[in-house]
Amino acid sequence: MKILENVELKPYTSMFVGGPARYFVEVNTESEIVEAISFAKKKNLRIFILGGGSNILVSDNGFDGLVIKVLILGTSLVKETEEFADIEAGAGENWDDFVRLTVEKNLYGLENMSHIPGNVGASVVQNIGCYGQEVLETVLSVKLININTLEKVIFENKEMSFSYRKSRLNDVGLDKGKYVVTSVTFRLNKYGNLNMKYGDIQKYFSEHPNIRPDLQTVRDAIISIRDNKFPYPDNPRRGSCGSFWNADVVDKATYEKIILKLREKGFQDKAEEMEKKKSVFTVAQGFKVVPGLFVEILGFKGRPHGGAKILETHAGIINNYSGQATAQDVFELSQEVIEIVYKEFGVKLKIEPELVGDF
């Protein structure tokens, strides 16, 4: 393990923006994590845990502390029955590669979350989800290291406090910044039903009548759908943080008010779409709302600011289209959207990526 100084963080993020880390280290084992944390404590440094870099926005001034990049790899079969398989994956495993592996093994549960950038460790921090699936549905347990005590702990699913795009690990009121994920164990089914309730998936198969829906073809469909909406962030000009905004789940009365407001503004088709999708957007706490809807109808699609812009093909994505955007470009564009959406609809959008450093 080698601790480096003044390392540029741009190449380690999917937005490809941001300044340097004062100290930077890559860790491959639990013991190296403990060693890195101990180094930071001796020097009284702030710590930031870096996974795949896909859900963060690093300040142009960088991070004045120690960035620990977790590279713990490996997958193993923990338990198997006729109905399911429990697979443990290292926190540093690439998420999409792991999904591909489970599909190749004919295991149900992760296929609709194909092509989401990032690593396995981050998947449980944010409770990622896509096209009707969420990580919380398959997570059996999470192994972690307590940053304060350096103890190894295991949280079962029910102890993770999962909710929409949340867990105890990214909740400021609970344990944000207190743990490092080292591995996750998933329980995946050998037999299951494909989740094809989203219109995009149904449209894909209606346009490809010769393709029979199964685990692999649904994964292929998801990849095609996502690639057509926004670029996979594999270089600076395709850089993004994924969905840039989220909003709290709203109650039924608020959901109805949004529909009414859309009708008043002349967006009958969008209002009808929200009516039709009530069942799809229903979650335990109420109704999900799609930030991109508000961004689109307010005319922000394609809006540039400095070297960044909101994609023409997806109103929820800010793209480093120039390849030379600054973090401030991205942040300022986001703030403009947040202010106008709240003024027009009373909906408070929140920045979904974690802000690293000072803004």
Indicate the burial class of 219 (C-beta count within 10 angstroms; 0-12, 13-18, 19 or more). buried
pLDDT at 32: 98
Cα 163 to Cα 126: distance, rounded to the nearest angstrom: 9
pLDDT at 194: 95
Which of these is catalytic: 167, 240, 243, 334?
243
State whether residue 42 is helix, strand or coil: helix
The single residue listed with the structure tokens 């941001």 is: 18
Query: Quick check: is 352 catalytic?
Result: yes
Question: Domain-by-domain residue ranges, the chain?
Answer: 4-70, 75-189, 236-356
Q: CATH code for 75-189?
A: 3.30.465.10
pLDDT at 42: 96
Average pLDDT per block of 10 residues along the chain, 359 residues long: 96 96 98 97 96 94 97 97 98 97 98 95 94 96 97 98 91 94 98 92 96 97 92 93 87 88 89 84 82 90 96 94 97 96 88 93
Cα 309 to Cα 303: distance, rounded to the nearest angstrom: 5
CB 182 within 8 A of CB 188: no
Which of these is catalytic: 165, 187, 226, 303?
165
Cα 314 to Cα 338: distance, rounded to the nearest angstrom: 16
Residue 126 sits at the vertex; the CA angle it makes with 174 and 351, to the nearest 5 degrees, is 90
Strands (E), 166-236: 179-189
Which of these is catalytic: 88, 111, 134, 352?
352
Strands (E), 51-138: 56-58, 63-70, 75-80, 84-90, 129-130, 133-134
Give the closest residue to 143 by CA, choosing from 176, 170, 181: 181
pLDDT at 349: 93
Query: Quick check: is 165 catalytic?
Result: yes
Q: What is the pTM of this model?
A: 0.88
Look up the CATH architecture of domain 4-70.
2-Layer Sandwich (3.30)
pLDDT at 212: 96
Domain range 236-356, its CATH number among 3.40.109.10, 3.90.180.10, 3.90.78.10, 3.30.420.40: 3.90.78.10
Give the closest residue to 15 by CA, choosing from 297, 238, 268, 338: 238
pLDDT at 265: 85
Q: In Å, what is the CA distance from 255 to each residue of 131, 149, 349?
A: 20, 44, 15
Residue 116, number of CB atoms within 10 A of its CB: 25
Cα 59 to Cα 330: distance, rounded to the nearest angstrom: 10
Q: Which two tokens stand for residue 27?
A: 């860790």
Give the closest residue to 110 by CA, choosing from 82, 84, 80, 92: 84
pLDDT at 150: 97
Query: Quick check: is 243 catalytic?
Result: yes
